[in-house]
Structure 1
Amino acid sequence: MVNWAAVLAVFSVYCAGVVIPGPNFVAVAHKAASSTITEAFMLVAGIVVVNLFWATCAILGIGMVFTLLPWLAVVIKFLGAAYLIWFGARLIVLRGAGLNSAPGSPAVTRRKAFLQGVATNIANPKSIAFYAAIFSAAAPPHVSIETFAAMLAVVAIVASLWYGFVAMALSHRRVADAYRKQKRWIDSVCGSVIILLGVRQMLR
């Protein structure tokens, strides 16, 4: 039997958490403006898969694991922050690149976009902190399989709708054309934002 009160609590908490801009939002926005809508959706798919992984860990008690092993939370935080700093720096260094280069095969570019979404979210300190502290607190212990499935469905649907909306909105032709005209500047801004998010997380 589904515990709808618990599912609603998770829904409320997750809606509030997912719309707060962070590395995932920046990655989706950049991919949508700089690439095809298919690649943007593949990146979103990678983010959603990792969200389901973190949600599963939270429901099963990842918050308790971090409480018992606080050093593990610190290690994950620093590794994630380091990845964000590297990713942002790479974006800045390679700004302007690829405007005239031939793209790879559709299968390759879609796979790369999916893996980029996975890497961005798996190393996202904001996601880790949210699921370990807030999401796990909203999810009661020892839920039924039906409630467990309903909670994961909430995560999948909300994340897909939100990031899918961002991808569609920013892949509009006018937005894409504006991006191509200002690619070097926009890549620098996006890279700087991601670096700042990584530094901020490392110093917290």
Structure 2
Amino acid sequence: MSLQLWCSLLLVCALGAISPGPSLAMVMRHTLGSGRACGVAAALAHAVGVGLYAGLTVVGLAAVIVHQPWLYRLIAWGGALYLAWLGIQALRAGAAPAFPVQDQQGDWRRAVRDGLLVALGNPKLIVFFVALLSQFVEADMGAASRWLIVATAAVVDGGWYLLVAMALSQSHVLPWLRHRAVWVHRLTGGILIALALRVALG
């Protein structure tokens, strides 16, 4: 893969990562609710999920999924239900005056779970990778170039959400947000439920 082509791939992945959506809301909630470590865990787990979908695209399996309407709808509905559940959880947490401090061991496991499921339960990632990453895959492309595509997608995604988690956990940012925890929970909950409806309705 040429440097110019890789730079185009890098730009595409960056634009996909920074787009506001359920992934950003999920990383924000874990960072603000349980601290930097949980935000980082959620970010890294999400990157793993993105890497899996990128890998499916590179080997051609994602195209098969997209061309099976019933399977695609099943993934979409499952993802919508999970996003709605996250949104309801956030709205329920919004009744508290501050972000709850919970058991850290359980928190990072929950963060990993949510990071993976938000990525794998988002059918838009399949469409995104099939529509955009497929233009970088050629029939005679070597294994190194294929894995470079997968690594680029995962590293860019993980790097962006790591930056989000680190920025939100800074001492001068976190107290300001903690005092506004109710509104942060309500906002993220509303966004997640709205996204769930959008996914469910296609």
What range describes the TM-score normalised by the shorter chain of this pair?
0.7 to 0.9
* Aligned equivalent of 2:67: 68
* Aligned equivalent of 2:137: 139
Structure 2 distance, partners of 1:24, 1:18, is: 9
* Aligned equivalent of 1:87: 86
1:51/1:155 contact within 8 Å kept: yes
Q: How does 1:1-204 map to 2 (within 5 A)?
A: 2=1, 4=3, 7-97=6-96, 99=98, 103-104=102-103, 106-141=104-139, 143-204=141-202
Cα distance 1:88–1:42, how it changes in 2: closer, same or farther (>3 A)?
same
1:77/1:202 contact within 8 Å kept: yes
Aligned amino acid, residue 190 of structure 2 = S
1:60/1:141 contact within 8 Å kept: no
2:43/2:161 contact within 8 Å kept: yes
Q: Secondary structure at the match of 2:173?
A: helix
95-104 vs 190-199, greater mean Cα deviation: 95-104
Structure 1 distance, partners of 2:178, 2:66, is: 46
What are structure 2's unaligned runs of at least 5 residues? none
Q: Give me the TM-score of the superposition, normalised by structure 2.
A: 0.87
What are structure 1's unaligned runs of at least 5 residues? none
Deviation at 1:165, TM superposition (A): 1.0
Aligned amino acid, residue 139 of structure 1 = V
Structure 2 distance, partners of 1:112, 1:90, is: 13
184-193 vs 57-66, greater mean Cα deviation: 57-66
Cα distance 1:78–1:92, how it changes in 2: closer, same or farther (>3 A)?
same
Cα distance 1:11–1:102, how it changes in 2: closer, same or farther (>3 A)?
closer
Q: Give me the TM-score of the superposition, normalised by structure 1.
A: 0.87
RMSD over equivalenced CA pairs, Å:
2.3
1:4/1:147 contact within 8 Å kept: no
Aligned amino acid, residue 16 of structure 2 = G
